[in-house]
A and B are shown apart, each in its own frame.
Chain A
Amino acid sequence: MTNPNELNIKEEIYRENILDHFKNPHNFGELAPCSFYHCEVNQLCGDEVKLFVKLDDKETVAAARFNGHGCAISVASASMLTDYIIGKSIGELKCIQSSEIIELLGVKLSVVRMKCGLLVLKTLRNGIKTMEVRQ
């Protein structure tokens, strides 16, 4: 017998797809050599995302990987984003909005948990900035 309350929990935030991505994250690991690498930390909870992105000749994402440690929301969003950005150009990466990440996750996040969900996007944005400064 499933407790209806537990179903609520799953429906609201820990849906099956989030837990799947958390337990078996896509693109988990490092990428060397890569076009840019960046690490961001969520000071509040100590979550850490390291993002590795490799661009092809046409400046579009050929491969992306991540590692680090974090809660289900930050790991799932990193897993999803590293799938999502494949084939996108730098210009397109820069245009990715927070709402797109929330849509990928498909769950409603509280203000505090929003930081977890958007940590990987912050990592991507700052990674691009760092790369551009370097160039």
Chain B
Amino acid sequence: MEAKQLIDPNKIKQDFSIFKRKINGKPLVYLDNGATSLTPDIVVNAINNYYHNFNANIHRGVHTMGEDATIAYESAHDKVAKFINADNKEIIFTSGTTASLNILVRSIRLNPGDVIILTEMEHHSNIVPWLEAAKKEGYIIKYVKITENGELDMNHLKSLLLNSHVGVVSVTHMSNVLGSINNVKEIAKLAHEKGALCIVDGAQSVPHIPIDVKDIDCDFFCFSGHKMAGPTGIGVLYGKKELLNDMEPANFGGDMISEVHFDHATWNDLPWKFEAGTPNIAGGIGLGAAVEYLDSIGMDKIRDYEEFLTEYALTKLKGIEGVTIYGSSKKRGGVISFNVKDIHPHDVGTILDRDGIAIRGGHMCAMPLIKTVLKLNSVCRISLYFYNTTEDIDKLVTAIHKAKEVFCNDQS
């Protein structure tokens, strides 16, 4: 087998000014990409360029800057569409995955008593909006169980789909706790066979693996800009054109209208029908720059490199006595949750921070999974990106040993 040519993360680090920063006198080892990724200079510059050179509203003024802003903002939709193989009319910019899911929950028409199938590994953003809607609309929520190694129990999904009133199957593409990558193509197929819609939460997958929404054939796909080298406050709702056309908007106001009269209004074309008010123009332009940047590296190459690095990290972490790793899905991304025996994740996090290492500790916005399924209070999580190196992992391992010394060895 021919060895894959992996990207050089040290070269990539040069694209990010933030790596010049020292944390407690140490170089930054950023392992919290599942929370938010770092932003390359090229994206920061794109945002600055908007504010420095054509800081105007879109779709309104006929002046030069207004036109520049409109072209830049619209072309960001085109870039994102190309990035996930969608039509540009199917790309709605939102403030992030949470907003995208909330729009769907409000705009998809279902009937009281309809079943919503979620999974035990969902982020709060794909649980709480449904819980609220269920209270008001009378939906019934069911959760697909996960297996011992942290994969979705597809047989359980199939048994839940035997119910004839399933309206929606909404599932995460990649768990933000276990790292498991779900077979969303198969899930969409199963949902469609029963006449249900399929929503995919791609917040953790889009930044790390090549996405083709046509191939997955899901009805909706949601993700956030800030986890994929883009700015905060911008995200995407992809939906199939014919479905979006049939749906009512979730927000109403400026720019989403075609005509407004004193007693009624009609809606603008896609995607603007779903983007009420002045959008996050700078954020959208930044997201466009981010997908161009990721494309310039190559999503296939990013995936290959992260698979290599994840395997490296798993092997190293498993070698530390007292470390328990949660989730061992065969198909997984670079999200690894673990605990160090007798040390609270916050204490691990604080000690690691002394060495410039950023990790996450807590319930990962997935309390039902952490508390009810894994029966834990909190976990430590590292989440990798293509600028992380094997040296980063080695530093992590050294720092975990240090934490064990501070807590477990009574040195006088």
Known: A19-B407, A45-B361. A9 touches B346 (CB 8 A): no
Q: From A48, which residue of chain B is reached at the shortest CB distance?
A: B377
Min distance, Cβ A78 to any Cβ of chain B, angstroms: 13
Q: Which of these binds chain A: B27-35, B261-269, B347-355?
A: B347-355
> Which of the residues A5, A13, A48 comes within 8 Å of B350, measured between beta carbons?
A13
Closest to B363 in A: A46
In the bound complex, residues from chain B placing their C-beta under 8 Å from that of A19 are 406-407
The minimal Cβ–Cβ distance linking A110 to chain B, given in whole angstroms, is: 8
- A108 to nearest B CB, angstroms? 12
Q: Would you call B361 and A9 a contact (CB within 8 A)? A: no
Q: Is A113 an interface residue (CB 8 A)?
A: yes
Nearest to B407 among chain A residues (CB) is: A19
* Interface magnitude class on chain B: 20 to 34
Is there a chain A Cβ closer than 8 Å to B345's Cβ?
A: yes
Count of residues in A whose CB is under 8 Å from the partner chain: 23
B47 interfacial contact with A, CB 8 Å: no
| One of B344, B354, B362 near A9 (C-beta < 8 A) | B354
Identify the closest chain A residue to B342 (Cβ): A23
B402 at the interface (CB under 8 A from A): yes
Quote the shortest CB–CB distance from A85 to chain B (angstroms): 24
- Min CB–CB distance A59 → chain B (angstroms): 35
Closest to B26 in A: A5
The answer to whether B337 has its CB under 8 Å from any CB of chain A is no
- A 47-83 binary contact with B (CB < 8 Å = 1; else 0): 1100000000000000000000111110000000000
* A133 touches B (CB below 8 Å): no
Q: Which residues of the partner chain A approach B351 to less than 8 Å between Cβ atoms?
A: 9, 14
Tell me whether chain B's interface is mostly helix, strand or loop, or mixed: helix
Contacts of A44 in B (CB 8 A): 362
Q: Interface readout for B325-362 with A: 1 if CB under 8 Å, 0 if not?
A: 00000000000000000001111001100110000011
Judging by beta carbons under 8 Å apart, are B346 and A14 in contact? Answer: no
Q: Which residues of A contact B344 (CB under 8 A)?
A: 45, 47, 69-72
A72 and B354 contact, CB distance less than 8 A: no
Q: By the criterion CB–CB under 8 Å, are B354 and A73 in contact?
A: no
Which residue, B345, B362, B370, has most C-beta atoms of chain A within 10 A? B362
Question: B205 contacts which chain A residues (CB < 8 A)?
Answer: none
**Given A5-B354, A72-B347, A113-B346; A45-B362 close (CB under 8 Å):** yes
A46 touching B350 in the complex, CB below 8 Å, given contacts A2-B411, A9-B402, A10-B406 = no
B405 contacts the other chain (CB 8 A):
yes
A116 contacts across to B, CB distance below 8 A: 346
Given A45-B362, A46-B363, A46-B370, is A113 in contact with B345 using a C-beta cutoff of 8 Å? no
Using known A-B contacts A8-B354, A72-B344, determine if residue A45 contacts B405 with beta carbons closer than 8 Å.
no
Q: How far is the CA of A110 from the CA of B344 in the complex (A)?
A: 17
Cross-chain contact B405 with A6 (CB below 8 angstroms): yes
Cα A14 to Cα B404 with chains together (Å): 12
Within the complex, the shortest CB–CB distance from A114 to chain B, in Å, comes to 12
- A69 and B377 form a contact (CB under 8 A): yes
User: B378 interface residue, CB < 8 Å from A?
Assistant: yes
Which residues of A in the span 13-27 have a Cβ within 8 Å of any Cβ on B? 13-14, 19
Bound-complex Cα distance A46 to B367 (A):
9
Whole-angstrom distance from the CB of B410 to the nearest CB of chain A? 8
* Min C-beta distance of B3 to chain A, whole Å: 37
A100 CB–B CB distance under 8 Å: no
Contact B406 A45 (CB under 8 A): no
Whole-angstrom distance between the alpha carbons of A72 and B378 in the complex? 14
Q: How far is the CB of B181 from chain A (nearest CB, A)?
A: 26
Given A45-B363, A45-B378, verify A12-B346 contact (CB < 8 Å): no
CB pair A46 B407 closer than 8 Å? no
| Chain A nearest Cβ from B362, distance in angstroms | 5
Q: Output the residue of A5, A10, A110 with the most chain B CB within 10 A.
A: A5
Given contacts A44-B362, A45-B346, A70-B344, is CB(A6)–CB(B377) below 8 Å?
no
Would you list 14 pairs from A and B whose C-beta atoms are within 8 A, ordered by A residue? A2-B411, A6-B405, A6-B406, A10-B406, A13-B350, A14-B347, A14-B350, A45-B378, A46-B367, A47-B344, A69-B377, A71-B346, A72-B344, A72-B347
Supply 13 further A-B pairs (C-beta < 8 A) apart from A14-B407, A45-B346, A45-B363.
A6-B402, A6-B406, A8-B354, A9-B351, A13-B350, A45-B344, A45-B345, A46-B362, A71-B344, A72-B347, A72-B407, A113-B346, A113-B350
Q: Please list the 7 inter-chain residue pairs (A to B) with the smallest Cβ-Cβ separation, ordered nearest first.
A: A71-B344, A71-B346, A46-B378, A46-B377, A45-B362, A71-B347, A72-B347
